[in-house]
Amino acid sequence: MIHTNYLVIGSGIAGLTFAVKIAEKFPSKTVTIVTKSDENESNTKYAQGGVAVVLDTKEDSFEKHIQDTLIAGDGLCDFSVVEMVITEGPKRFRELIEWGANFDVDASGNFDLGKEGGHSEYRVVHHKDITGYEIERALLQRIHQLENITLLTHHFAVDLITEHQLKIQPKEQVTCYGAYVLNEKNGTILTINAENTLLASGGIGRVYGHTTNPVIATGDGIAMAYRAKAAIKDMEFIQFHPTALYSSEGSSTFLISEAVRGFGAYLRDKKGHRFMLDYDERAELASRDIVSQCIDKELKKSGDTHVFLDCTHLNIAEFIKHFPTIYDKCKSLHIDISKDWIPVVPACHYLCGGIVVDQQGKTTINNLFSCGETSRTGLHGANRLASNSLLEALVYAHNIYKHLSKNNTDFSPIEIPDWDDKGTTITEEHVLIQHNLKEVQALMRNYVGIVRSNSRLKKANIKLDVIYTEVEELYKTSKLNTSLCELRNMINVAHLIINQSIDRKENKGGYFNIDNIH
């Protein structure tokens, strides 16, 4: 058993930012970060476009950024949250610079601001096309300087410890006492007892298979919180990024940043028609939900597998300066962007919903907080404005830290038993795990994609139930391993997406159901 003051699950921008702040504030308290892969492996690491933040108040203003966010969110954003995040954003962004993160500046020394879909101004601060990698580098450097932080890599959080897990009756509200964590190197399960627990475990992209997200994005935090009975909302609002690099294998895919369209690239069908002009006056820079839905329509009409992003009219030397990683990736696939169009297709990219939190990042469970992509703050509504998520994570990590600095945790120690794995055996059924994972991904792609229908959602539920029963049986009889736990979590997340989709009777932002057209 490990005792810690603060348990942080996840080492992306959300978890690391909170850990740095709380560890600096309370040097005598302990912060334990658990993360299931290498220390920097996260969605954050792959963020390309940058951080949307109002820094240049001559051209831009908080009002404009607020309006853009509200329009993208299609009427479902929480106004007070939008206002708070956008006005606090510049202060939080500058802290990243104090911790050593570098962002591109122009010849006059001002931030080189990019533009993305749905933004009325240039306001996206970036580090070439590897913004997230740079942020992770700076945050991890700071983490390693702080002696009261322990960072446990390859440690997988299996479940939260609550009265529910301990099979006792909660007093009034359920309380979180930490988490059971699998040490992936030796297979043992640690009991980590914490006064406060932060779920900062990121997104869910892998539930769809065809995604811009890395393999860690399996929705573990949301599934754990759901099993512990926390409120979860807006799971139907899956954001599909319009321009993932097309691959005939159809699995994890490389992102072609929206900033490339902000730089002037055009979307074309295979005949060369610039089809976005037919749909929206903002053309390629309409918000992401609209561009993805239009591409989906075009593909259904033509029967093609992808459309194209045309950069051939752009200044290629400048392109390489801004987007060296994208340029190199295309080149490695023999796509010369000065002559060839880039094949692109929408892919699952971001979850707008998640664990319900208030403005202090508090969940509906005592002593459990959530931050970053795992959480549902109300900022994004039905569709996130591009580059608002890194900003959201910075602001909420700060709010949670502020809250915990001012308020003593109501924490009464209780007896926590070790993880009970009596009667389980090491599973010989890895093939079954892989097989069921592929089934979940296929059903989510085919029945719960960009365009949904009531009958497809119902069919998805029936198919998922069969997989659920088989996997629960395996879970109960097996010694835990990461892939089995991830599969179980993805099934929980798929269940939430399907059922919250069924409950939504109106099309909004990223949610489109043909049976809601009246």
Residue 216 partner contact from ligand FAD, ligand SIN, none using kind-dependent CB cut-offs of 5 to 8 Å: ligand FAD
- Bridge partners of residue 52, in order along the sequence: 124
Residue showing the smallest CB distance to ligand SIN in the complex: 49
Identify the active-site residue in 92, 261, 288, 445: 288
Of 23 and 255, which has the nearer Cβ to ligand SIN? 255
Instruction: Please report whether residue 259 would count as binding ligand SIN according to CB under 6 A.
Output: yes
Q: Which two tokens stand for residue 252?
A: 């994890």
- CB of 29 vs ligand FAD, minimal distance in Å: 21
Decide if residue 367 touches ligand SIN (CB under 6 A): no
Residue 355: Cβ within 10 Å count: 28
**HSE toward the beta carbon, residue 460, CA cutoff 13 A:** 28
Q: How far apart are CA 17 and CA 31, in angstroms?
A: 12
Cα(501)–Cα(78) distance, integer angstroms: 20
H or E element that contains 211:
none
CA separation for the pair 5, 7 (Å, rounded)? 7
Q: Does 257 bind ligand SIN (CB under 6 A)?
A: yes
- Give the binding-site size for ligand FAD (rule: CB under 6 A): 42
Please pick, from the candidates 48, 366, 370, 507, the single residue that binds ligand SIN as defined by CB under 6 A. 48
Q: Which stretch binds ligand SIN (CB under 6 A): 254-262, 277-285, 300-308, 425-433?
A: 254-262
Shortest distance, position 172 Cβ to ligand FAD, whole Å: 28
Output 245 or 460, the one with its CB closest to ligand FAD. 245
Neighbours of 9 (CB within 10 A): 30
Q: Distance (Å, rounded) from C-alpha 296 to C-alpha 287? A: 15
Q: Provide the minimum distance between the beta carbon of 125 and ligand FAD in the complex, in angstroms, as a whole number.
A: 10
3-state secondary structure of 502: helix
Among 30, 32, 48, 193, binds ligand FAD (CB under 6 A): 48
Count of residues interacting with ligand SIN (CB under 6 A): 9
The label of the residue with tokens 């002696």 reads 147
Min separation Cβ 397 and ligand SIN, Å: 17
Spatial neighbors of 513 by CB under 8 A, at least 6 apart, are 451, 452, 453, 454, 457, 501, 504, 507
Q: Does 42 bind ligand SIN (CB under 6 A)?
A: no
| Token pair 């949301």 in the structure block, residue | 222
Which CB sits closer to ligand SIN, 257 or 436? 257
Q: Is 392 one of the binding residues for ligand SIN (CB under 6 A)?
A: no
Residue range at the interface with ligand FAD (CB under 6 A); choices 13-21, 86-94, 225-233, 493-501:
13-21
Please tell me the distance from the alpha carbon of residue 484 to that of residue 481, in angstroms, as a whole number: 6
What are the residues whose beta carbons fall under 8 Å from the beta carbon of 374, sequence distance 6 or more?
A: 10, 14, 199, 200, 201, 202, 203, 221, 222, 225, 354, 355
Q: CA-to-CA distance for 256 and 253, rounded, in angstroms?
A: 10
- Residues 42, 293, 387, 507: which binds ligand SIN (CB under 6 A)? 387
Is 157 a binding residue for ligand FAD by CB under 6 A? The answer is yes
Distance CA 244, CA 258 (A): 10
Residue closer to ligand FAD by CB (options 9, 276) is 9
Residue 393 as a binder of ligand SIN (CB under 6 A): the answer is no
3 state SS of 149? strand
SS3 state of residue 346: strand
Applying CB under 6 A, the span of 209-217, 337-345, 444-452, 455-463 interacting with ligand FAD comes to: 209-217
Let me know if 288 is a catalytic residue.
yes
Catalytic residues: 288
State the residues that interact with ligand FAD by CB under 6 A.
Answer: 9-15, 34-37, 41-44, 46-50, 131-132, 156-157, 200-203, 212-213, 216, 220, 255, 350, 372-374, 387-390, 393
State the residues that interact with ligand SIN by CB under 6 A.
Answer: 48-49, 257-259, 350, 386-387, 389
